[in-house]
Structure 1
């Protein structure tokens, strides 16, 4: 990989870190507003008559999925390319991220991915099951934040840049 190519990859990485940080800030805000109390089947059933609640839920599901997608499908491969590593399948890239200490475990990440799919595709078909999935997603937000912060710290320590985005709280 040429020096120019590495520079371009580093610029892409920095741009993606900024995007994911914004996604994370919005996700954390929505998470805080939505999960003031644990969600249960009765809460899910109220969604049909409470437009504000339904819109907050839609925002959470969208932001959760978007951040999970951006980190897994774009940010991790961009980090690897910026370090002149060859990227592979999504699973290969996730395994490499785990080995670098950026993800707690590939298994947890894949569970988050499956959860994201469940939230999007099985929306309220079973209120009890959907409530369980929502609560799992709430607890999984910390995995997304940790992955972003780990990637940000790792990139800062290895790639020179004028200005790095802040870590997420």
Structure 2
């Protein structure tokens, strides 16, 4: 990889870090608002008659999925390329990110991916199952934030002369 190519990859990485930081901040706000109440089957059944709650739920599901997608499909490969690492399949990239210490567990990440799919595709087909999936997604938000923060911290240390976004709380 040439020096120019590495510079371009670093610029792309910085842009993605800024995008993911915004996604993460919005996800955390929605997560806090949505999970003030206990989410159970009765809560899910109330969604049909509560537009505000339904819209808040849609925002959470969308933001959860978007951040998970952006980190896994774009940010991790951009990080690897900025390090002059060879990228491969999504699973290869996740395994490499785990070995480098950016991702706590590939298995947890794949669980988050499956959870994202469940939230999108099994929307309210079974209120108890959907409530359980929502609660699990709530517990998975820190995985997304931790992964972002690990990548951001590494980029700050390794790559200079750029305006790095803040870490997420």
TM-score range, shorter chain: over 0.9
- State the partner residue of 1:65: 65
- State the partner residue of 1:105: 105
Provide TM-score, normalisation by structure 2.
0.99
Note the C-alpha offset of 1:67: 0.1
Q: Measure the CA separation in 1 of the matches of 2:122 and 2:82.
A: 37
Q: How many residues align?
A: 169
Note the C-alpha offset of 1:156: 1.3
Q: Deviations over 1:82-112 (max 9, x none)?
A: 0111100000000000001111100000000
- State the partner residue of 1:86: 86
Q: Measure the CA separation in 2 of the matches of 1:38 and 1:88.
A: 41
Q: Measure the CA separation in 1 of the matches of 2:51 and 2:161.
A: 44
- Structure 1 alignment gaps of length 5 or more: none
Q: Secondary structure at the match of 2:42?
A: helix
Superposed CA RMSD in Å reads 0.6
Q: Secondary structure at the match of 1:87?
A: coil
Q: Deviations over 1:39-94 (max 9, x none)?
A: 00000000000000000000000000000000000000000000111100000000
Q: Secondary structure at the match of 1:80?
A: helix
- Kept in 2, the 8 Å contact 1:38–1:135? The answer is no
- State the partner residue of 1:132: 132
- State the partner residue of 1:21: 21
Note the C-alpha offset of 1:163: 1.0
Q: Measure the CA separation in 1 of the matches of 2:129 and 2:161.
A: 45
- State the partner residue of 2:2: 2
Note the C-alpha offset of 1:26: 0.3
